[in-house]
Structure 1
Amino acid sequence: MTLLILGLILFLGMHSIRICAEGFRSAQVARFGLLGWKAIYSVISLLGFVLIIYGYGEARLSPVVIWSPPVWTRHLAALLTIPAFILLVAAYVPGTRIKQKVGQPMVISVKVWAFAHLLANGMLADVLLFGSFLAWAVADTISANRRDRAAGITYAAGPLSRDIGAVLIGLVAWVVFALWLHGPLIGVRPFGG
């Protein structure tokens, strides 16, 4: 569990600098340059991510049960991850109406993903992992929306084809991940088998 917690601190800590230490970030960009800061940020984030993966896998070997979710929550989680995938794709397709409406589709995707997994999993490691990501995503959405409002940033919508593309790519990615990748990568097959 220690490695999971350390990984969460490193990964989410780096991703929280803009939330609670914008001045520190600006000072580091001035000190190292934007590319230098991004390199430091990426290395620490990657180390945190590796520790999260390893620590979560290790924690699952000695599970601490907090609650036993009913089976239907797995089905609800599977359904909720569909919009999570679509929102994630919409974050990277320029000019979607989705981004125009929600502002921060990637972070909202993380919220939906984390919430879905909290519903369907009742181990202590799950609560730490998904609860931490959910709390971070809520704080980051608030912070990013404030920054956008202060800077007068708005997101323009392009043609509807961009949204259709984001939805289709998100659906295909969800199917591929749910049916073929989640089991080998995570160790749990959402649809049995």
Structure 2
Amino acid sequence: MTILILGILLWVLPHMFKRLAPRRHLMLMPQVRSMVAGLVAVGVVLMVIGYRMTGPQANLYDPLPGMGHANNTLMLISIYLFGVSGARSVLIDKIRHPMLTGMLLWAVAHLLVNGDPASVVMFGSLGVWAVVEMVLINRAGPWKKPKPGSFTGDIKNLIGTLLIYGIIAWIHIKLGHNPFLGTYP
């Protein structure tokens, strides 16, 4: 689980650097941005490797039957929220933190269907990180709302969401975790 925790730290700390750094102008330097992106990428790789290395463990809790369906619904919403800003959805000026909200929903969705210690550590940590980021951003100052989005942006986002969801589901099926079973072992 050490590799998993190291991966989580390499995700969380670079993301928090921007919020907590006393000299925020450093984030404007391309070298710093590249280094932060590199650390985050290494963190993701280590999380995947560490998560896969943990192997079978006794559950801390047993997911309720049928939670796979709730997971699938929350995942669709989560992926949609990730695309709100990029697609300029009509929600862009209504939700201050669409990506972080999507991340929180992603974490909750996975906690609904995974009760093993590695899942609780990974998804729980990333869910807590998303909430902490939202709090830190809110404390930094008032929200400067972006220009309103468009219905065309929503259509683009919906198409992108369905494509990405399909790819994620395919990867999960290939890894032996079919998200369409409704109940997971």
TM normalised by structure 1 equals: 0.85
C-alpha contact (below 8 Å) 1:64/1:125 kept by paired residues? no
Extract unaligned runs of 5+ from structure 2: none
What percentage of aligned pairs have identical amino acids? 27
The DSSP-based 3-state class of the residue aligned with 1:122 is: coil
CA contact under 8 A between 1:103 and 1:155: conserved in structure 2?
no
Runs of 4+ in 1 over 6 A off after TM superposition: none
**8 Å CA contact 2:92, 2:149 repeated in 1:** no
Separation (CA, whole Å) in 2 of partners of 1:164 and 1:140: 28
* Residue from 153, 160, 177 that aligns with 1:188: 177
Distance in 2, Cα, partners of 1:169 & 1:107: 18
Please, which of 135, 143, 148 is the counterpart of residue 157 of structure 1? 148
Q: CA separation in 2, counterparts of 1:104 and 1:177? A: 23
Q: 2:160 aligns with which of 157, 161, 169?
A: 169
Question: In structure 2, what is the equivalent of residue 91 of structure 1?
Answer: 85
Q: How far did 1:171 drift?
A: 2.6
The question of whether the paired residues in 2 share the 8 Å contact of 1:115 and 1:130 is answered with yes
One-letter amino acid of the counterpart of residue 158, structure 1: G
CA–CA distance in 2 between the matches of 1:67 and 1:133?
19
Show the 5 A alignment for 1:121-140.
121-140=114-133
Q: Give the CA deviation at 1:175.
A: 3.1
Where in structure 2 are the equivalents of 1:1-193 lying within 5 Å? 1-19=1-19, 21-26=20-25, 28-29=26-27, 34-59=29-54, 61-94=55-88, 96-147=89-140, 149=142, 153-178=144-169, 180-184=170-174, 186-192=175-181
Tell me: CA distance 1:172–1:148, structure 2 relative to 1, closer, same or farther (3 Å): farther
Q: C-alpha displacement at 1:161, in angstroms?
A: 1.4
Q: TM-score, normalised by structure 2?
A: 0.88
TM-superposed CA distance for 1:177, in Å, is 2.3
Q: Is the 8 A contact 1:100 1:154 kept in 2?
A: yes
Q: Give unpaired runs (5+ residues) of structure 1.
A: none
RMSD of the TM alignment (CA)? 1.9
Amino acid across the alignment from 1:63: Q
Per the TM alignment, residue 148 of structure 1 is displaced from its structure 2 partner at its CA by 5.4
Letter in 1 for 2:106: W
- CA drift of 1:24 comes to 4.4
